[in-house]
Amino acid sequence: MPVHAIPPPHSEPLPLLPTTHRVLFIPELVDIIFRFLDKKTNVTNALVCKQWSQIALDVVWKEVDDLVQLFSLLKPIREAERQGERMQYVFEATPEANDWLRFERYASRVRCLRFHWSKYGADINRLLDDVARTRTSLEILPNMHTLEWIYLRDDHMERCKLFLHRQLRHLTVTAPCKYRPRPDFYTDLCARASQLHTLNLFIRYPGEPQEVELRILVSNLPELRRIVLPEFHFTSSLIEELSRAKNIGVVELSHDMDAGHGDPKNVETFAPVLAEGAFPSLYDLSLVAKIDDIDRFFQSNFAPINITTLYINTYEDHSPSEVHDFLVTLSQQCQLLSKLYIQLLHKEHPLSDLVPENQLSYESIKPLLAFPNLATFELMHKYPLKITLDEIEEFASRWPSLESLMLNAEPLVLDEDKFTLDLRALLPFARYCPSLRKLGLYINATEAEIPSVQSSIEAFHSLRVLSLGTSQVRDQGTVAAFLSRVCPPGCLLEVGITWEGFGPFENRILGDDLRSELHERGISWKAVGELLPVLIQLRREERERSRALREEVEDLRIRNRLLMDKGAVKTSDSCVVA
């Protein structure tokens, strides 16, 4: 039965029901249950009674991803063919005022609409034109707060405007490679949806970003709190415009190739000029630029020094001293910083051999210890980090508040002969960092460097993810046995690389030799990952048995003491008290 043909629900008074049945008429509980059910089941639930009908219909129509199904509530829709044109969706009869009045019962329940051009087997433009022509209100979906629009052609983009209104809070628009939003789209967006809080604009058009249009957009969306753009779109002038936005809290990059990336030349020079009062609400900032440019940016007047999260991508080749100086600047300027991500993504194709003077060391990252509030740090670099076990010990012991650390776990130049870390590098973090939930290290996991079973090892308390990136492993069974001693139950072992997810297409290519080596290492770590949960469970059961045995021994000791005490009393034949 079509959803729009639901008959009036049963509304007679219900007899007194047992407590277990009355629970199913608590609206909040019923709503939670219905959210776990599929759409077809909830359509059936809407027929049960008036109360269930309202709750079920709210769930059914809360999120819509099929415009044909939605507008079939007005009039039946069919596919028609016009001479020389592709198949298209059309109404069998023109919607009238009464149809729109009935439609309001469902339209007011829609909170999220998703449009993806590939979902439709026929052209939808004529159908949307008829909706625009016959509607009785400018706001077709008056309570919708989220709109996601992925289009193929300009005419698809024009129809997006039908659903823009002042109650809209979150908008995602994805443009294909051949098209980008026309300039009038930005002005229409500002006029129709001026109260937007979140804007995700993914422009896959190659070349220059629409800088002027983006600046106009930002300046005319006074309530904007979060903006997400592809890489290389946050130019100096756009950052300057964003700095004047009173409510901007998050400036974020998207690395998805489907969302576009732009041209690296757009950010070859990054030197925004900020005015007093810049970025009054900013707390999360992502940038693609040279490290030295960003260093100068944070030393400039009115820089956003009160941010708590900073994400940096750079595709230039930076020296260890530049990284060190940048961290010193941040530690002095950004005292509130709690999360820092630095992706040094420069690489040649094919990869060159390791250059020792360009290798980051413990001294390069030591300024991290001067941050008063930093709890999350992530570093990526093509060369392994030059750090010793003693330095790891110092690093962990001086950072007890650490919650997440990815310390260059996936270098691309795999040179174990010049690398000193092994599985023992995990132990200081288990010993000194009780709140650590995620840890990533590049190590050489070999049997020779594994502590003996007799040695005392402190396990991680809170670890949920152990990432070993491109690390080498030998003797998988022995390595898995060691990890089972330090990893808590449920800890996830991650391996592999993420380099292919950053930058323009040419930057995501890895050589065949490197791919082959990483594949072999991945197979070895997979074997460790399969053994690890089994061994962790066995050790857990062993500890429980040992604890039960200790408790039993203690109980027997107490019983024995009581019996001995009782025997001592009986050996006294005299009842005379001296």
pLDDT in tens, 317-332: 999 999 999 999 999 9
Instruction: Tell me the per-residue pLDDT of 189-198, one tens digit each, with 9 for 90 and over.
Output: 999 999 999 9
Q: Which of 191, 212, 193, 214 is nearest to 202 (CA)?
A: 214
Is residue 570 over pLDDT 70?
no
The answer on pLDDT for 209 being more than 60 is: no
Q: Mean of the pLDDT values across residues 339-353?
A: 86
* Res. 424: pLDDT tops 60: yes
Structure confidence at residue 493 as a pLDDT band (50, 70, 90)? very high
Output the six-digit token pair for 476: 């998988």
Beta strand pairing call for 87-91 and 77-81: antiparallel
DSSP for 401-418 reads T--EEEES---SS--GGG
pLDDT confidence of residue 246? 95
Are 431 and 396 contacting, i.e. CB atoms less than 8 angstroms apart? yes
**What CA dihedral angle connects 186, 184, 133 and 135, to 10 degrees?**
20
User: Which pairs from 401-404 meet CB under 8 Å and 24+ separation?
Assistant: 401/375, 401/433, 401/435, 402/375, 402/377, 402/429, 402/433, 402/435, 402/436, 403/375, 403/376, 403/435, 403/436, 403/437, 403/438, 404/375, 404/376, 404/377, 404/378, 404/436, 404/437, 404/438, 404/439
